[in-house]
Amino acid sequence: MKYVDGFITPVPTENKDAFLNSARLAAKVFLEHGALEYVDCWGVEAPYGKQTSFPRAVKLQENETVCFSWIVWKSKEIRDNGMKKVRQDPRMHPDQLEIPFDQIFDHQRMIVGEFEMVAHTVAE
């Protein structure tokens, strides 16, 4: 069964280019280590809800944009092995990055989760 890592991330709007550059690098590394898909989305219409919303979930601040991302793996086992390799990959080490991830966005307000994919339908 396919397995998904999901992320909701608050990113300072001024860091959009750095976020996109880091996403390109991360996509390459994750795909090399077994991911089937790597997707990063820049928020366009993510309203601040009365009770719940993406912005509320990450305590979005003024001049930030909420981003929604996911990584698809063939299975949890492949994901666990792939994530271990990604963490060990020197290209992901902060010293090797143009701008370290922790300088692009606030990890403490990032929401992460692992999910089993139970339905997936695509247009033909």
pLDDT of 107 higher than 90: no
pLDDT, mean over the chain: 92
Residue range 91-116: average pLDDT?
82
Unique residue bearing structure tokens 């060990």: 88
For 84-116, give the DSSP string.
HHHHH-GGGSGGGSSS-HHHHS-GGG-EEEEEE
pLDDT digits (tens, 9 = 90+) for 81-97: 999 999 999 988 777 66
Q: Which CATH number does 3-10+32-116 carry?
A: 3.30.70.100
What's the whole-model pTM score? Answer: 0.91
Q: How far is CA 73 from CA 2, 60, 85, in A?
A: 6, 29, 14
Cα–Cα distance for residue pair 23/16, rounded to 1 Å = 10
**Domain residue limits, the chain:** 3-10+32-116
Cα–Cα distance for residue pair 37/23, rounded to 1 Å = 12
